[in-house]
A and B are shown apart, each in its own frame.
Chain A
């Protein structure tokens, strides 16, 4: 009995071979290489020269690196915090108010509309917003038409303004994701619960804070963790919208690493940056999963 079971097991293991082998070749080997490069000085040609943790000590003294991390904190607000809060509010409004009074049809139209930016390539939405926000672009031309030309700005070219504008674009791109997740999570709620609460005199706000938010906690957690990780990896938006500038006002670690790899041929340093991001992502993901595993008991 034992042997047959064992044989059956190893028979199934064959199916794992292609996936495991290709993952090792295409993903694990490069990961190990990046970590190794981070301990070297290397221009991408010739032999890497082993320099130990020099790149990391340099990293911690580099103003651009710290700027990129400060910017990441902002990006996480724009990609995780604001869309989650706004999404919660909108989901509750759509589900508990508009859906009840005006039907589910209109809710799904709104939901689809707000989800749309999520399916358009990030690079293309970046292109679109870059054009809209350009000095000669739509926003300034709208302000002009409205007689508000004094408010015209170089939206992405002003170091004090650029990060906030990028933040706004990120919120726009990201809102649909929490909204759709929250709306689907709300399907779990027994409608009687809301009705009973209303009969007991609970207003919309009370139902929101006492029923909607507690019930959506798992979704909120998932959204915050996944989008925080996405925030750490933000690249295309920055590449297309600002190129990290002006100065380093919108620089993010992923773009900073890219610059070192492909523009400055400082592969060792770039690898130290990407190893740091990778480590952070793995820590966050690991924490999240172990927490979830514990909750599942």
Chain B
């Protein structure tokens, strides 16, 4: 998800979020370690070399844009895209940074994504509290509703949203956009959390309410802290999804002051067509923040992916 980013991750099924954590990992790992001592023939080195080559070629596009973002246009024209830069030239990156006002785009993306995370997680927490722990009436119907909302394609909603935002003054503003995306993700979060909450230890809730704790207190003091592992995975995912959104920001966030990183870079694409190193630098600027994020949250991202997918 991406869905594609979000792209692919937005239509998943029930599951519990905490599996794939240490217990299930430990046993196979130990086994693998025991067996590493035998069976490394020449064949196994051939296979690992082949896979390594495959992964290197797979990642080559990143390396290519990295190298070419630091060449002068003359260098690129003379030596092509495979050569090492004659000298590392930071001017083009700086130039593209200025031209797309990258600082502003970064701040917009951060602000919007954080806002989306807060809205999506809070709303999902409330929804799931009512459905999974409160066991309210018609809870299955509500769950089906949120599931349906979760798979709705954006292109089926985008025009009326564009129209309504224009009518209400939310158009080209971060507030309406942030709420919209937050609500969209909260449907997924509701689904995920409800299934986690349905296995929540009832005794804890009963004990607390015997002690006089109200629903509000129970939510903040007991349910929230105990579901933090799932919530944190959701935060990481919602942040990435929101950062990577394209259609909604393309339509709803048009001014320079509001554009997000991917949008700011791709809509200015036309400016660089005659300038290959600048185009490469623009791609590099778009890749770097998410690679940095990936390096920090790698485990959460690769593990959390499975949270939504399979029971």
Contacts and interface: CB of A to CB of B under 8 A. Distances in A.
Contacts of B108: none
Interface stretch (A49-57, A124-132, A159-167, A206-214): A124-132
Contacts of B59: 113, 116
B17 to A, nearest CB: 13
A277 interface: yes
Interface stretch (B21-29, B86-94, B226-234): B21-29
A98 B47 contact: yes
B200 interface: no
A93 B54 CA distance: 13
Contacts of A175: 58
A122 B276 CA distance: 20
Contacts of B303: 184
A257 interface: yes
Interface in B239-253: 240, 243-244, 246-247, 250-251
B41 to A, nearest CB: 9
Interface of A: 8-16, 18-20, 22-23, 26-31, 33-34, 37, 44, 79, 90, 93-94, 97-104, 106, 110-116, 118-124, 126-132, 134, 136-138, 141-142, 144-145, 172-175, 177, 180-181, 184-185, 187-189, 191, 218-219, 222-223, 225-227, 229-230, 232-233, 235-236, 239-240, 253-254, 257-258, 261-262, 267, 270-271, 274-275, 277-278, 281-282, 285, 288-289, 292, 296
Interface of B: 1-5, 7-14, 20, 24-25, 27-29, 31-33, 35-36, 39-40, 44, 47-48, 51-52, 55, 58-59, 61-62, 64-65, 68, 80-82, 123-124, 126-127, 129-131, 133-137, 142, 145-149, 151-164, 179-180, 183-184, 186-187, 190, 215, 219, 240, 243-244, 246-247, 250-251, 261-263, 265-266, 269, 273, 276, 279-280, 282-283, 286-287, 290-291, 293-294, 298, 301-303, 305-306, 309-311
Given A19-B146, A119-B244, A225-B11, 11 more contacts: A20-B142, A22-B183, A26-B183, A102-B36, A119-B290, A122-B262, A131-B65, A141-B80, A142-B80, A144-B80, A240-B266
19 contacts: A15-B134, A26-B184, A37-B159, A116-B59, A119-B301, A120-B291, A121-B262, A122-B4, A122-B5, A123-B244, A123-B262, A130-B269, A136-B276, A226-B9, A230-B2, A230-B4, A261-B158, A274-B155, A274-B159
